[in-house]
Protein backbone atom coordinates (compact mmCIF):
# COMPACT_ATOMS: atom_id res chain seq x y z
CA UNK A 1 0.00 0.00 0.00
CA UNK A 2 1.31 3.47 -0.83
CA UNK A 3 2.04 5.84 2.03
CA UNK A 4 -1.08 7.86 2.89
CA UNK A 5 -3.47 5.63 0.98
CA UNK A 6 -6.63 4.73 2.85
CA UNK A 7 -6.74 1.11 3.95
CA UNK A 8 -9.52 0.10 1.58
CA UNK A 9 -7.90 -3.09 0.31
CA UNK A 10 -10.75 -5.54 -0.28
CA UNK A 11 -13.45 -3.12 -1.52
CA UNK A 12 -10.85 -1.41 -3.70
CA UNK A 13 -9.89 -4.70 -5.29
CA UNK A 14 -13.57 -5.47 -5.81
CA UNK A 15 -14.04 -2.19 -7.63
CA UNK A 16 -11.07 -2.91 -9.89
CA UNK A 17 -12.51 -6.38 -10.53
CA UNK A 18 -15.87 -4.85 -11.36
CA UNK A 19 -14.32 -2.43 -13.84
CA UNK A 20 -12.39 -5.28 -15.48
CA UNK A 21 -15.53 -7.41 -15.64
CA UNK A 22 -17.47 -4.56 -17.17
CA UNK A 23 -14.89 -3.94 -19.91
CA UNK A 24 -14.63 -7.69 -20.57
CA UNK A 25 -18.42 -8.14 -20.74
CA UNK A 26 -18.83 -5.23 -23.13
CA UNK A 27 -16.09 -6.55 -25.38
CA UNK A 28 -17.62 -10.06 -25.42
CA UNK A 29 -21.12 -8.65 -26.00
CA UNK A 30 -19.81 -6.60 -28.92
CA UNK A 31 -18.27 -9.74 -30.48
CA UNK A 32 -21.51 -11.66 -29.97
CA UNK A 33 -23.61 -8.94 -31.64
CA UNK A 34 -21.24 -8.95 -34.63
CA UNK A 35 -21.20 -12.74 -34.93
CA UNK A 36 -24.70 -13.79 -33.88
CA UNK A 37 -26.87 -10.69 -34.18
CA UNK A 38 -28.34 -8.72 -31.27
CA UNK A 39 -31.39 -10.97 -30.98
CA UNK A 40 -29.19 -13.92 -29.93
CA UNK A 41 -27.38 -12.12 -27.14
CA UNK A 42 -28.98 -13.15 -23.85
CA UNK A 43 -27.85 -12.75 -20.24
CA UNK A 44 -27.09 -16.50 -20.00
CA UNK A 45 -25.22 -16.72 -23.30
CA UNK A 46 -23.15 -13.66 -22.41
CA UNK A 47 -22.23 -15.07 -18.98
CA UNK A 48 -21.20 -18.39 -20.49
CA UNK A 49 -19.08 -16.90 -23.25
CA UNK A 50 -17.47 -14.37 -20.91
CA UNK A 51 -16.64 -17.12 -18.41
CA UNK A 52 -18.39 -15.22 -15.61
CA UNK A 53 -21.26 -16.15 -13.31
CA UNK A 54 -24.83 -15.29 -14.25
CA UNK A 55 -25.05 -13.29 -11.03
CA UNK A 56 -22.17 -11.05 -12.13
CA UNK A 57 -23.85 -10.33 -15.46
CA UNK A 58 -27.19 -9.70 -13.77
CA UNK A 59 -25.72 -7.32 -11.19
CA UNK A 60 -23.91 -5.41 -13.93
CA UNK A 61 -26.78 -4.99 -16.43
CA UNK A 62 -29.99 -5.81 -14.46
CA UNK A 63 -31.90 -6.73 -17.64
CA UNK A 64 -31.08 -8.04 -21.12
CA UNK A 65 -31.79 -4.52 -22.43
CA UNK A 66 -29.14 -3.23 -20.02
CA UNK A 67 -26.42 -5.03 -22.01
CA UNK A 68 -27.34 -2.96 -25.06
CA UNK A 69 -27.68 0.27 -23.09
CA UNK A 70 -24.02 -0.23 -22.07
CA UNK A 71 -22.96 -1.03 -25.65
CA UNK A 72 -24.78 1.99 -27.06
CA UNK A 73 -23.35 4.23 -24.34
CA UNK A 74 -19.82 3.68 -25.64
CA UNK A 75 -20.83 4.76 -29.15
CA UNK A 76 -22.95 7.59 -27.76
CA UNK A 77 -19.91 9.17 -26.12
CA UNK A 78 -18.11 9.43 -29.45
CA UNK A 79 -21.22 10.94 -31.05
CA UNK A 80 -21.63 13.52 -28.30
CA UNK A 81 -17.99 14.56 -28.60
CA UNK A 82 -18.69 15.57 -32.21
CA UNK A 83 -21.68 17.68 -31.11
CA UNK A 84 -19.86 19.34 -28.23
CA UNK A 85 -16.45 19.91 -29.78
CA UNK A 86 -16.50 18.94 -33.45
CA UNK A 87 -16.54 21.27 -36.46
CA UNK A 88 -19.72 23.28 -37.26
CA UNK A 89 -22.53 23.05 -38.19
CA UNK A 90 -22.83 19.91 -36.00
CA UNK A 91 -20.38 21.37 -33.53
CA UNK A 92 -20.50 24.90 -32.05
CA UNK A 93 -20.09 27.98 -34.24
CA UNK A 94 -23.09 27.85 -36.60
CA UNK A 95 -26.59 29.38 -36.22
CA UNK A 96 -28.92 27.29 -34.02
CA UNK A 97 -31.26 26.31 -36.89
CA UNK A 98 -28.33 25.05 -38.99
CA UNK A 99 -27.05 23.11 -36.00
CA UNK A 100 -30.49 21.53 -35.44
CA UNK A 101 -30.62 20.47 -39.10
CA UNK A 102 -27.08 19.05 -38.90
CA UNK A 103 -27.87 17.35 -35.60
CA UNK A 104 -30.85 15.62 -37.21
CA UNK A 105 -28.85 14.22 -40.11
CA UNK A 106 -25.99 13.07 -37.90
CA UNK A 107 -28.35 11.51 -35.36
CA UNK A 108 -30.24 9.63 -38.07
CA UNK A 109 -26.95 8.27 -39.43
CA UNK A 110 -25.93 7.26 -35.91
CA UNK A 111 -29.20 5.44 -35.24
CA UNK A 112 -29.25 3.77 -38.64
CA UNK A 113 -25.72 2.50 -38.02
CA UNK A 114 -26.63 1.16 -34.57
CA UNK A 115 -30.29 0.24 -35.12
CA UNK A 116 -30.09 -3.30 -33.77
CA UNK A 117 -28.31 -2.26 -30.57
CA UNK A 118 -30.48 0.83 -30.11
CA UNK A 119 -33.69 -1.18 -30.44
CA UNK A 120 -32.46 -3.96 -28.18
CA UNK A 121 -31.61 -1.33 -25.56
CA UNK A 122 -35.29 -0.41 -25.24
CA UNK A 123 -37.07 -1.99 -22.31
CA UNK A 124 -40.85 -1.52 -22.25
CA UNK A 125 -40.76 -1.69 -18.45
CA UNK A 126 -38.18 1.10 -18.19
CA UNK A 127 -38.62 4.20 -20.32
CA UNK A 128 -35.55 5.84 -21.80
CA UNK A 129 -34.57 8.32 -19.08
CA UNK A 130 -35.33 11.53 -20.98
CA UNK A 131 -33.68 13.67 -18.34
CA UNK A 132 -30.38 11.92 -19.03
CA UNK A 133 -30.77 11.97 -22.81
CA UNK A 134 -27.94 13.94 -24.42
CA UNK A 135 -30.10 14.33 -27.54
CA UNK A 136 -32.77 16.08 -25.53
CA UNK A 137 -30.15 18.28 -23.90
CA UNK A 138 -28.77 19.46 -27.26
CA UNK A 139 -32.14 19.92 -28.97
CA UNK A 140 -33.46 21.85 -25.98
CA UNK A 141 -30.39 24.09 -25.94
CA UNK A 142 -30.59 24.83 -29.68
CA UNK A 143 -34.35 25.40 -29.54
CA UNK A 144 -33.82 27.82 -26.66
CA UNK A 145 -31.43 29.73 -28.87
CA UNK A 146 -33.57 29.66 -32.02
CA UNK A 147 -37.08 29.99 -30.58
CA UNK A 148 -37.03 30.78 -26.86
CA UNK A 149 -40.78 31.49 -26.90
CA UNK A 150 -41.50 27.82 -27.79
CA UNK A 151 -38.85 26.15 -25.68
CA UNK A 152 -40.43 26.83 -22.30
CA UNK A 153 -42.02 23.66 -21.01
CA UNK A 154 -39.53 21.28 -22.60
CA UNK A 155 -42.22 19.18 -24.30
CA UNK A 156 -41.56 20.62 -27.76
CA UNK A 157 -37.88 19.63 -27.54
CA UNK A 158 -38.95 16.15 -26.42
CA UNK A 159 -41.35 15.90 -29.37
CA UNK A 160 -38.56 16.92 -31.75
CA UNK A 161 -36.26 14.25 -30.32
CA UNK A 162 -39.09 11.72 -30.70
CA UNK A 163 -39.66 12.86 -34.30
CA UNK A 164 -35.99 12.20 -34.97
CA UNK A 165 -35.44 8.97 -33.06
CA UNK A 166 -38.93 7.41 -33.08
CA UNK A 167 -39.06 6.36 -36.74
CA UNK A 168 -35.87 4.32 -36.44
CA UNK A 169 -36.50 3.02 -32.92
CA UNK A 170 -40.20 2.25 -33.25
CA UNK A 171 -41.61 2.13 -36.73
CA UNK A 172 -39.25 1.31 -39.57
CA UNK A 173 -38.56 -2.24 -40.65
CA UNK A 174 -34.82 -2.70 -40.92
CA UNK A 175 -33.22 -6.08 -41.30
CA UNK A 176 -30.37 -6.52 -38.91
CA UNK A 177 -26.95 -5.89 -40.44
CA UNK A 178 -28.60 -4.61 -43.63
CA UNK A 179 -27.54 -1.08 -44.52
CA UNK A 180 -30.36 1.45 -44.40
CA UNK A 181 -31.53 2.52 -47.85
CA UNK A 182 -29.84 5.79 -48.82
CA UNK A 183 -33.12 7.20 -50.17
CA UNK A 184 -34.84 6.63 -46.82
CA UNK A 185 -32.04 8.39 -44.95
CA UNK A 186 -32.24 11.29 -47.39
CA UNK A 187 -36.02 11.53 -47.05
CA UNK A 188 -35.88 11.45 -43.25
CA UNK A 189 -33.15 14.11 -43.22
CA UNK A 190 -35.04 16.32 -45.66
CA UNK A 191 -38.33 16.17 -43.80
CA UNK A 192 -36.51 16.80 -40.50
CA UNK A 193 -35.07 19.92 -42.12
CA UNK A 194 -38.56 21.03 -43.23
CA UNK A 195 -39.87 20.50 -39.70
CA UNK A 196 -37.05 22.45 -38.05
CA UNK A 197 -36.97 25.31 -40.56
CA UNK A 198 -40.76 25.80 -40.49
CA UNK A 199 -40.75 25.67 -36.70
CA UNK A 200 -37.86 28.07 -36.24
CA UNK A 201 -38.03 30.13 -39.44
Binding region for a second copy (CB under 8 A): 39, 65, 119-122, 124-125, 127-130, 133, 136, 150, 153-156, 158-167, 169-174, 184, 187-188, 190-192, 194-195, 198-199
Instruction: Provide, rounded to whole angstroms, the least separation between the CB of residue 130 and a second copy.
Output: 4
Return the number of the residue (14 or 42) whose C-beta is nearest a second copy: 42
Return the number of the residue (50 or 151) whose C-beta is nearest a second copy: 151
Instruction: Provide, rounded to whole angstroms, the least separation between the CB of residue 36 and a second copy.
Output: 14
Radius of gyration of the chain (CA): 20
Return the number of the residue (7 or 148) whose C-beta is nearest a second copy: 148
Instruction: Provide, rounded to whole angstroms, the least separation between the CB of residue 44 and a second copy.
Output: 17
Q: Following CA atoms 187, 193, 196, 198 in sequence, which dihedral angle do they give, to the nearest 10 degrees?
A: -100
- CA 154 to CA 198: how far, in whole Å? 18
Return the number of the residue (65 or 94) whose C-beta is nearest a second copy: 65
Which residues touch 100 (CB under 8 Å, ≥6 apart)?
Answer: 139, 142, 143, 146, 160, 196, 200
Amino acid sequence: MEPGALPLGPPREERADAARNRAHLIEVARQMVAELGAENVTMDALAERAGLGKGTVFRRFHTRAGIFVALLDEEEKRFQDRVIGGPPPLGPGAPAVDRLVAFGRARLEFLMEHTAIARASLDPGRPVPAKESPSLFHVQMLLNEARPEHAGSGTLALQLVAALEGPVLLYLQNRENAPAPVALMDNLSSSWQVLVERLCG
